[in-house]
Amino acid sequence: MTAQRILARQNLGPLFERIARDGRRILAPVRRGDRVAFEPVTRPDEVALDYVQTRTSAKSAVFPPYEPLLRFTLRGADVQADEPPPAAPPTVLFGVHPCDAASFATLAAVFTWDSPDPPFERKRANLTIIGLSCTRGDAYCFCTSVGGGPGDPRGSDILLTPLDDTHFLVEILTERGQDVAQLAGPLLEPHVGNGKEAALARIAPRFDARPLAAKLPALFNHPALWQEQSLRCLGCGACAFVCPTCTCFDITDERDRYHGVRLRCWDSCGLALFTLHASGHNPRTKQSERWRQRVMHKFAYQPERLGVLGCVGCGRCSRACPVDMNLAQHVQQLAETAV
């Protein structure tokens, strides 16, 4: 159903107005000092269109750092527990790069592979993704090693590619994209001319993630390999915090005298307490074992179990790492290690 159109950059403002009039909020990359973050916007001049990567990912739109699962009213032994009203306003996620757009397939695979997950599904159902192809990357980007690319349409409902300083190529990819295209109406002009290839960043592939799912389990019992890779890992969890596909969460209660809330919060397999039993037994006592779990889960277990790779090559984990561990470099080493 892909259709191609042209959008003049000066028409972004009217497009945002039409989206807002339709009752949808717009989340877009906004520059804040030395970082860029996804925030609600109303005007295109608030949006950083030239960013390489945001500090945190776009997953918060469907899986926020913490969200209530239940709210309690406590009156002694009398407890009322209610599901909170759904917080899922119709949203257009504007200007996410193809790596982030691709991450939503992994998120959906985890949250819906078996039982339903209303908090996730309600937000996802109300989300339209307008992607933005990358015209430049940096040394941390490795989308092309994990099946993606700077102009990869997967996950986007509409994909914009800046053809020059004044125009975007618009690819309308899904029914949800079609809905937004209808809102845009005459703002979208017919496209004649060249495709997007010339405008895209060049990201050289470093490894091929596809054969790794079959290969990695054979490297499980190579402790020296995992120890060497994780020797400087602090176990801080920053990599998981910024990761667009990390989904591990904790469920924890907070309360005061009369009210309480059951929260779902981000968690990480890299943290030392993640698997600790109440008895003191811990199935993964060493940081090297936790690092191995992180890599195996993303590149072997999830592909085998859920049919999705747990990495989109955005490079955030490596940019955020306080001790400069580099996932692409480490996985490349694993790909090159003889079994």
Asked if 271 is part of the footprint of another protein (rule: CB under 8 A), the reply reads no
CB 29 within 8 A of CB 47: yes
| Cβ-based neighbour number of residue 136 at 10 Å | 13
Question: What are the DSSP calls for 102-150, one per residue?
Answer: HHHHHHHHHHHSSS--HHHHHHHHTEEEEEE--S---TT--GGGTT--T
Give CA angle at 153 (299, 31), nearest 5°.
85
Sheet of strand 78-82: strand arrangement: 78-82, 66-75, 259-266, 249-255
Q: Can you tell me which of 21, 45, 85, 114 binds another protein, judged by CB under 8 A?
A: 114
Buried b (16+ CB within 10 A) or exposed e, 216-240: beebeeeeebbeebbeebeeebbbb
Q: Can you tell me which of 88, 143, 269, 327 binds another protein, judged by CB under 8 A?
A: 269
Q: Can you tell me which of 16, 111, 140, 291 binds another protein, judged by CB under 8 A?
A: 111
Site string for another protein, 67-86 (x = CB under 8 A): --xx-x-x--xxx-x-x---
Q: Can you tell me which of 27, 47, 188, 300 binds another protein, judged by CB under 8 A?
A: 300
CB 162 within 8 A of CB 133: yes
Asked if 217 is part of the footprint of another protein (rule: CB under 8 A), the reply reads yes
Residue closer to another protein by CB (options 110, 130) is 110
Q: Can you tell me which of 278, 324, 336, 338 binds another protein, judged by CB under 8 A?
A: 278
Residue closer to another protein by CB (options 278, 338) is 278
Q: Can you tell me which of 1, 198, 279, 324 binds another protein, judged by CB under 8 A?
A: 279
- The contact set with another protein (CB under 8 A) reads 69-70, 72, 74, 77-79, 81, 83, 110-111, 113-119, 217, 220, 247-255, 260, 262, 264, 267, 269, 274-279, 281, 283-284, 289, 293, 296-297, 300-301, 304-305
